[in-house]
Each structure stands twice: as structure tokens, then as C-alpha cells.
Amino acid sequence: MKRRRFLRWSMGGVLMGSAGLAGARAWVPDFSAIRLESTGLDADQWALIAAVQEHLLPSEAAAPGARDVNATSWLQWVLSDPAVESSQCRFFRQGAAALAELSRKEYGKAFVSLGAREKEALLRKYEARADGHGWLQELLNYIMEAMLTDPVYGGNPGQVGWKWLNHQPGYKRPPADKRYFLL
């Protein structure tokens, strides 16, 4: 089964089974106010994570990708929440560092500088490692979460993920001033 078909199928199932998937956060999604220093990841690690997410779910003419659904900003926002356990930030920091090191070892350059085939080969190698498989799986989870959330919470801008899945949002969607955590 092709990756995009699998993702479409699995995201549809996730959407049907957990309508409030991303709504469990109790903080305001203001991507401009993200405190990246609170995540413990540096700019190079965030660039690597963005490149991995975009490789895992690239944009296509008829389908949104990780960039289109604000997947990296969504993850930054989630990890900057003071209620998030430091172990979750450490997990992403260690995974990014391990993949960066593997990239330097295998190709002598940063992951973001690799071509598509090199990225694919490196991610396959990283996926074979126990820590790599779990890390990539979590990145995919956050891509799906960003794609499926109500746009009022910061991901899925313009309902791009919903439109791709032909999802009709429930009635009544919250306006920005009536989000559950503001009530």
C-alpha cells in the first residue's frame, strides 16, 4: 500500500474515532508567541524536524502535506506548553540529535541538505532502530493531529486537511473567543 493511501485511510479512521484528538490541550494556540527555548530544541533541530515531517508527508497538487497543515508549528506549540512533561521535549530533542548524527556519519552533511533519495534511505535506516521507529511514529502522529484539528486551534489552516478527506465538521464549531479552554 502506498504511503499516501495508507495515511489517508488511517487519518480517516483517526478522525472518525477521535473527533477531539487535538482538543485536549488547555492553552491558546498563538504560533507567534511560541517560546521555543522552553522546548529545549535549537533552530537546527527544528529545521531537521520540519524536513523530516515534510518528507514523511510531502505536499502534492491534490493533497496537503506537513507544511500545509502547519505540522512543525503545531508541534512547537504543543511542546512549548508548560503542562507538557519535560520528558516529551527530551524525546524529540534526543531523536533529532540522533538523526542529525546519523546524517553526518552516513553522508557528511546535515539532514536538511540531503536529497530526497538520501533522506529516504537515512530515514529507513533510522526507522530500523528502536528509538528511531518510535520517534518517526510520534512525528507522524503530530502531522495527523495538525491535519485533523479544528483550524480555530491553530492547525489545519483553511480546513485543508478536512477538505482533502472530504470531512464535514460537526455543528457548531467554536469561534475563537469561545474555545473550550477560554470558557
pLDDT digits (tens, 9 = 90+) for 93-139: 999 999 999 999 999 999 999 999 999 999 999 999 989 999 999 99
pLDDT band at 171 (very low <50, low <70, confident <90, very high): confident
**Cis bond upstream, residue 178 (ω within 30):** no
Q: What's the predicted TM-score (pTM) here?
A: 0.78
Helix H or strand E encompassing 82? none
With pLDDT > 70 as the criterion, what percentage of the chain qualifies? 77
What is the number of structural domains in the chain? 1
The pLDDT of residue 170 is 81
Give the CA radius of gyration of the chain: 17
Measured between alpha carbons, how far is residue 62 from residues 101, 107, 165 in Å?
A: 35, 33, 11
Cα 58 from chain centroid? 12
Q: Which three cell numbers stand for residue 175?
A: 469561534
pLDDT digits over 53-107, tens only?
999 999 999 999 999 999 998 898 888 878 888 899 999 999 999 999 999 999 9
Which residue from 182, 171, 179, 183 is spatially nearest to 153, judged by alpha carbons? 179
b/e sequence 164-177, b meaning 16+ C-beta within 10 Å: bbebeeeeeeeeee
Tell me the torsion sign for CA atoms 149, 145, 43, 121.
negative
Mean pLDDT in the chain?
82
Rounded to an integer, the average pLDDT of 41-52 is 94
Best mean pLDDT range from 19-23, 27-31, 144-148? 144-148
Supply the range of the domain harboring residue 28.
Answer: 3-182
Instruction: Quote the CA–CA distance of 152 and 158 in Å, as a whole number.
Output: 10
* Angle in degrees, CA 54, 56, 60, rounded to 5: 65
